[in-house]
Every structure is written in C-alpha cells, then in structure tokens.
Amino acid sequence: MAAALESVRDSRGWTGLGAVELLAPGRATERFPVLDPGFAAVWTGGVGRVDGRLFRDAALVAAERAGAVRHSGRAELVRDGDGVRGVRVDGQVVLDGDAVVLAAGAWSTELCAPLGLRLGLGPVRGQIVHVELPGRETAGWPTVMTLGEEHGHHYALAFPGGRVVVGATREPGAGFDSRVTVAGQRQVLDAALTLAPGLTDATVLETRVGFRPVSADGYPLLGAVPGLAGLVVATGLGANGLTYGPLTGVLAAGLALGERPPFDLTPFRPGR
C-alpha cells in the first residue's frame, strides 16, 4: 500500500488531492461495495465526478447567454492571405473576426489540412459501458481508478439511481469508426468484473463511444500557429477534456485577445 501511495505522489503530486488515506484490503469495499475485497487502495477526498452531458449542456447555455451563436453544418476555416479570418459553415461565412479559436477535438486535424497545417493529432476511440444495479443507491460511492500495468488504466464511477459507469478502451487505430465492438465490450466488462465482481448481476444499459483527441507525444496542442495569423489551436486533451477543458478555454481566449499567457506554453505549441 505504501508503494501505491508513492505512485500517487509521483504521478499526480499532492496539489488538489485533499485528505489521503491508505485502505487495507477489504476497507475499499466498505466505500464501493461491489469491489473485490482483496484490493487495497489509496483514498483521497480531492477527486469528484462530472456528468459530461450535463457539463456540456451547461457550457452551451452559458456561452449563449454571453452572446455566442450556434451554427450546425460542415465547418471550414476561412483563409485570408497569411492568416485566418473566419469560419464558413456549409459554404457560408458565419464568423468573420480578427481571431479564430479552433477547439474541434479530434476533427481539428481535418480542419487544418486545407491550410497546409499538419497537426500531429488523431482520434483514439473509447468505448464506455453504463450498467445499473437494481435496488442499490450508488450516489455516495466514490470514483475508483486502477494504477499500474497489471490491471491497466480502467475506472468505475457511480451516479445516483444505481448507475455505474465502467471504462474504457483506448483504440488509436480505430479512426472515426463509432461502432460498439465485441472486443471493446469484452475488454471493458472483463476489466470491470476483475475490479468489481459485484457487478456480475448488473444490467447493461448502454455503451457510449467517443473519440479522444490525442497528439503523438500525449501533450495538448495549445497556442497560436506561426504563419497563420489569427488562428489559435486548443485541443489534444485526450481523456482529460472535462478536467483541463475550462483552463484550456481560458488560456485560448487570452491568446486570441493578444494577452500574455500566465506561464510558458512552448511545450504545447501546435506545430511541434
């Protein structure tokens, strides 16, 4: 258990972890009852869960209240000489401005290609399974994440009403194929049952598929693009979009406004 605690210290540091407690085998099951009682764990109070769809909807409402306008269709960046001056949707210019922030996730590479800009970024498919434990109230259960190569990088998190989310696959070669595959389903469920055998009798509600934008070196792409005035790229957060998205948005907005970033963004430059 001490080694696990050191792993947390090395990989995440102490900032934001809150209270940290070592849990002997069996103790973690007291907090997440379907876990294998043989697992020891490190508990921290500094981690929370986010419903991604609610987060997205709230962000959209906030943006529209601030004056943002939504357009649906096929988007293209509008080039003007050595710069980018707007966005075209279905052939019609809907945004004409001094700066454009490109935050199109895994699709950013496709949008940049006509400009001659090659982003080292591609989609990594993730399949995530939602299950339900009938008659169980799971609202107070913590998030569970595995550490180390033996069990891979999987997780289980609970929402109210008996819903437990388990995931996820990491499939860099799948492209934008949005199918739920037998292999992906098996991988997620095998990992889930190894971690939490108490899920054996749970009902499978749905499997969601998403495309994480991941760069070649795993770091985000954030910054202005040399040779393309007015274009700021903000993507490549991988599986950490909900965690780092708000900060990335603030930094990207500052760059679009010509503000000096609060720290050196050179390691994240889009053209690296």
Q: How far does Cα 105 stand from its chain's mean position?
A: 10
What tens digit of pLDDT does each residue of 204-231 get? 999 999 999 999 999 999 999 999 999 9
Q: Are 92 and 139 in contact (CB under 8 A)?
A: no
54: in domain: no
pLDDT band, very low/low/confident/very high, at 153 (cuts 50, 70, 90): confident
CATH number of the domain bearing residue 235: 3.50.50.60
The position carrying tokens 């000489």 is 81
> Is the pLDDT confidence value at 14 over 50?
no
222: in domain: yes
207: in domain: yes
Q: Are 167 and 131 in contact (CB under 8 A)?
A: no
55: in domain: no
Query: How many CB atoms neighbour CB 131 within 10 A?
Result: 21
Assess whether 171 and 191 both reside in one domain. Answer: yes
Query: How many CB atoms neighbour CB 166 within 10 A?
Result: 22
31: in domain: yes
Assess whether 154 and 203 both reside in one domain. Answer: yes
CATH number of the domain bearing residue 30: 3.30.9.10
Averaged pLDDT, 84-106: 93
64: in domain: no
What tens digit of pLDDT does each residue of 25-84 get? 999 999 999 999 999 999 998 878 888 899 999 999 999 999 999 999 999 999 999 999
Compute the distance between CA of residue 106 and CA of residue 104 in angstroms, rounded to an integer.
Answer: 6
Per-chain mean pLDDT for the chain: 91
Assess whether 150 and 197 both reside in one domain. Answer: yes
Assess whether 182 and 256 both reside in one domain. Answer: no
Assess whether 95 and 140 both reside in one domain. Answer: no
Per-residue confidence (pLDDT) for residue 150, from 0 to 100: 61
Query: How many CB atoms neighbour CB 184 within 10 A?
Result: 22
Per-residue confidence (pLDDT) for residue 18, from 0 to 100: 75
Assess whether 168 and 113 both reside in one domain. Answer: no
Per-residue confidence (pLDDT) for residue 48, from 0 to 100: 80
> Is the pLDDT confidence value at 168 over 60?
yes
| Structural domain range at position 137 | 2-47+123-215
Assess whether 90 and 208 both reside in one domain. Answer: no
Burial of 248 (0-12, 13-18, 19+ CB in 10 A): buried
**pTM (2 decimals)?**
0.85
Assess whether 179 and 224 both reside in one domain. Answer: no
The position carrying tokens 């909900």 is 242
Assess whether 202 and 224 both reside in one domain. Answer: no
Compute the distance between CA of residue 149 and CA of residue 201 in angstroms, rounded to an integer.
Answer: 27
Per-residue confidence (pLDDT) for residue 220, from 0 to 100: 97
Q: What percent of the chain has pLDDT over 90?
A: 81
Work out how many domains the chain is built from and give that number: 2
53: in domain: no
Assess whether 100 and 167 both reside in one domain. Answer: no
Look at residues 190, 192, 204, 127 and name the one whose alpha carbon lies nearest to residue 162: 204
**Token couple for 62:** 């906030």
Assess whether 137 and 189 both reside in one domain. Answer: yes
Q: Taking the CA of residue 242 as centre, how many other CA atoms within 13 Å lie in the half-sphere pointing to its CB?
A: 13
**Token couple for 90:** 């279905």
52: in domain: no
